[in-house]
Amino acid sequence: MAATVVAQLESLLQKLQAIDLQNLDAELQKQLSDLSVLAAATESHIDSCRAEGQNLPQVPPAEIEARSVPSSLEANGSPGPKFPWVDINPSEMKSSESALTNPDVPREFGMPFKGVLPLEPPLNLFVWPPESISEQEKPALERLTPAPAAPRPEFGCYPQASEYILNSEPDHSYRAGLTYAAPFNTEDMEIASQQMLNIQMPPNIQPARFDFTTQSFVCDPIPGKVKIPIGIPMVHHINGDPNRAVTIVCAHNLDSLMHYEGPKVKELIPWLMTLTWGVATDTSPRIPGIFELPGLQRNIRSKDVDLTKIATGNGSFNLADYN
């Protein structure tokens, strides 16, 4: 009988390992129930053999090891790994530190270094329906040409913009349908990187004067730069390919937003300004500005701060931070 019981136990274990993962709980419960019945029968048989003074058959150690339940099934009563096809043995894993830099070391988390095939999504996923395209007119300027460059500074260099050209055919990947584009060559990335590390503030960054009639600052052209058009995205075409466009910037004002959901934006702006800067009146409860909210801390760019009490490098935001 012992040999029969062992054979049945082996059969059940094989079934456990081949269970359909889609119905794991119900099938596992049934198999464990059958296993429990057989275990009770085995224990009863062993007790009867001992009572009759019979010698129990000795199973070789190798067979005992082969018949043991896999670790994935016995650990913490778990029914097994959710993804058994991922063949990773945690005991053989090296430290995650080496996995961060060595492609040959399996990673416990994150993106694998190799074995992942990059697939470019189809361009038709990134288009707006015709009814969403803005009806704004084409601007008068076909090209945005940088202002004349300033003399090179004693140290470093000034930024230099490319010439941007208006698209001739509507581009439905942008709601404006219009873009100003310039090529960006990947061969120049190293040069661009070095220039960014040594860049200096160009002349005419500060406004020249304030126009009280228009209630706005007046700026002189910045050498080597272009003026950002209102409401039209500026993009770079990687290696000159219009199908590989990267948006650089798009500036809006209330007038340009009227081509989209402008009325709703215009309705929300006063409330946004109230939440940002606060309100102090004699007729209504005071609303604190966002910079007065509890828990916010000043940083090195805030006004009237004690620099000895501010963390080094804590200057990403002008008003406050969440450190």
The model's pLDDT over 91-136, given as tens digits with 9 standing for 90+, comes to: 555 544 555 566 676 666 667 667 777 777 787 788 899 888 888 8
> What is the count of structural domains for the chain?
3
Banded model confidence at residue 29, pLDDT cuts 50, 70, 90: low
Tell whether the model's pLDDT for residue 63 goes beyond 50: no
In this structure, how many other beta carbons lie within 10 angstroms of the beta carbon of residue 99?
19
**Domain shared by 171 and 249, yes or no:** yes
Asked if 43 and 36 touch (Cβ cutoff 8 Å), the reply is no
The residues facing 235 across adjacent strands are 181, 247
Nearest to 134 by CA among 262, 32, 318, 228: 262
**Domain shared by 51 and 159, yes or no:** no
DSSP for residue 96? H
**Domain shared by 230 and 269, yes or no:** no
**Domain shared by 137 and 215, yes or no:** yes
pLDDT, residue 83, reads: 43
| Spatial distance between the Cα atoms of 42 and 64, rounded to a whole number of angstroms | 16
| Spatial distance between the Cα atoms of 206 and 203, rounded to a whole number of angstroms | 8
Give the residue from 257, 290, 317 where a domain finishes.
257
Model's pTM, two decimal places? 0.55
| Spatial distance between the Cα atoms of 253 and 230, rounded to a whole number of angstroms | 7
Mean pLDDT, rounded, of the chain:
75
CA 49: distance to chain centroid? 65
pLDDT, residue 311, reads: 55
pLDDT, residue 147, reads: 95
Overall average pLDDT of the 181-204 stretch: 92
Tell whether the model's pLDDT for residue 60 goes beyond 50: no
The larger pLDDT score, comparing residue 302 to residue 200, is at 200
pLDDT, residue 14, reads: 66
**Domain shared by 251 and 290, yes or no:** no
SS3 74: helix
pLDDT, residue 26, reads: 64
**Domain shared by 152 and 253, yes or no:** yes
The model's pLDDT over 208-249, given as tens digits with 9 standing for 90+, comes to: 899 999 888 898 999 999 999 999 999 999 999 998 899 999
**Domain shared by 233 and 296, yes or no:** no
pLDDT, residue 130, reads: 87
pLDDT, residue 98, reads: 57
**Domain shared by 140 and 81, yes or no:** no
**Residue 41 located in a structural domain:** yes
Domain limits for position 157: 127-257
The model's pLDDT over 163-172, given as tens digits with 9 standing for 90+, comes to: 999 999 989 9
**Residue 19 located in a structural domain:** yes
**Domain shared by 180 and 216, yes or no:** yes
**Residue 206 located in a structural domain:** yes
The model's pLDDT over 269-316, given as tens digits with 9 standing for 90+, comes to: 888 888 888 887 777 777 888 877 877 766 666 666 666 665 555 555
Overall average pLDDT of the 60-71 stretch: 40
**Domain shared by 249 and 270, yes or no:** no
pLDDT, residue 41, reads: 72
**Residue 102 located in a structural domain:** no
